[in-house]
Structure 1
Amino acid sequence: MNVMQYKIKLPKEYGMEKIRERVANNGVKTDGFLDLLMKVYLIREESKEYAPLYLWKSEKGMNHFIFDGYYDNILSSFGWRQINIAIPLIVEVNQKVKASHWVLEIEKDIKEVTKMKAPEFSITPKDALGKLLVYNPDKWKQVEFYFFKEKSKELECFGSFYEVLHIST
């Protein structure tokens, strides 16, 4: 299993309705994509960010997406982008996440230690529809994703909320 995400910071004058329209017209194209467990089309309106999140069953589907023409749509629309790759550690997602309208992302450094211990979720929200914890030992980062139907003001202090435009499975 692999997770990938690219974050596209758009100019402050960029109309986010363009991204909404893009996803409305094309989001279903990744439904049933080879080896894709889930693609979550995410935006942050206030910071003008488009940040699709992918959970892959294997590298075969991810490689197909990146190298067989599909990622070219990102290149032609937004230019060269770094793709963040991570290893899933805890995956608690099922069909309930399809009802999500918001995703809370919490990013943390993994501190240097003399004895390794697996990262854990840092919060336990009762109303989460699903959650995902990934890590990247190349950067020593962990990222937690929590899926919600409603945006919670009290959880905003932990990370960044993204609006969900579409979820492909």
Structure 2
Amino acid sequence: MHALQYAVTLPADYDMGIIRDRVRTRGHLLDTCAGLGIKAYGIRERGVDGSHVNQYAPFYLWADAAAMHRFLLGPGFRGVIRDFGRPVVRHWMGVHHERGPSAGAAPGSFVRRTQTLDEGTDPATAVEEAMAGLRRLARTDGVHSTALALDPRHWELVRFTLWEGTAPESETDGERFQVLHLSAPEAERLPTGAQG
């Protein structure tokens, strides 16, 4: 499993209806993408859920690295570059994935929580602790699915959690996104539990 996200930050007065329309008319194009576990078409709107920015920031969990490479070099991502410029693409290796009690429902939001591992932190211990927390979170009512991934270049963990509706107020330690559409053509290929 591989996690990927890019964010397009938009002007403060940007009409987010443009992004909503883009997702409404194009989101279905990845509903049959081979190798894609899930793509959550996420947005943040200035003044909503504590966001200071307008942003289009989809999050992906890939079941197949080759499919991820094809996407980044293919026509779909060229459209993002054409319309918004080339964004920085963040990428993490998958560590753990769990389906929650609401896995069959359409998610309405996701929360991305990032944790930088300090120089003195043992990465293996930090990952084990984060996986234990992820397993507990996965049993929470309203959780669609949740994943943990690691960027070993920056020694950073990211926890990505899809929620059936609005993420609960207790999820204050991360960035909150509204989900406009979920493409999940090969969600069943995302292995459950620890990766590797």
TM-score normalised over the length of structure 2: 0.79
Give the match's secondary structure for 1:77: helix
Residues 114 and 156 in structure 2, CA contact (< 8 A), matched pair in contact too = yes
Distance apart, 1:97 and its partner CA:
5.8
Residue 39 of structure 1 pairs with residue 46 of structure 2? no
Amino acid at match of 1:73: G
- Counterpart CA distance in 1 for 2:94 and 2:121 is 23
- For structure 1, list consecutive stretches of 5 or more residues without a partner in the other structure: none
Q: Work out the percentage of aligned pairs sharing the same amino acid.
A: 28
2:91 equivalent among 82, 85, 107: 85
The Cα offsets for residues 28-85 of structure 1, whole Å up to 9 and x where unpaired, read as 0001102111111000112201111111112210111111222100100100111101
User: How many residues are treated as equivalent by the alignment?
Assistant: 169
2:156 equivalent among 141, 145, 153: 141
Give the match's secondary structure for 1:21: helix
Residues 109 and 167 in structure 2, CA contact (< 8 A), matched pair in contact too = no
| Structure 1 counterpart of 2:188 | none
- Counterpart CA distance in 2 for 1:106 and 1:100 is 17
Q: Which is worse superposed, 8-17 or 105-114?
A: 105-114
Residues 3 and 55 in structure 1, CA contact (< 8 A), matched pair in contact too = yes
1:6-45 paired onto structure 2 within 5 Å: 6-45=6-45
Distance apart, 1:153 and its partner CA:
5.0
Cα RMSD, aligned residues only: 2.0
| Structure 2 counterpart of 1:101 | 108
Amino acid at match of 1:45: E
Residues 98 and 167 in structure 1, CA contact (< 8 A), matched pair in contact too = no
Amino acid at match of 1:104: V
- Counterpart CA distance in 1 for 2:76 and 2:167 is 34
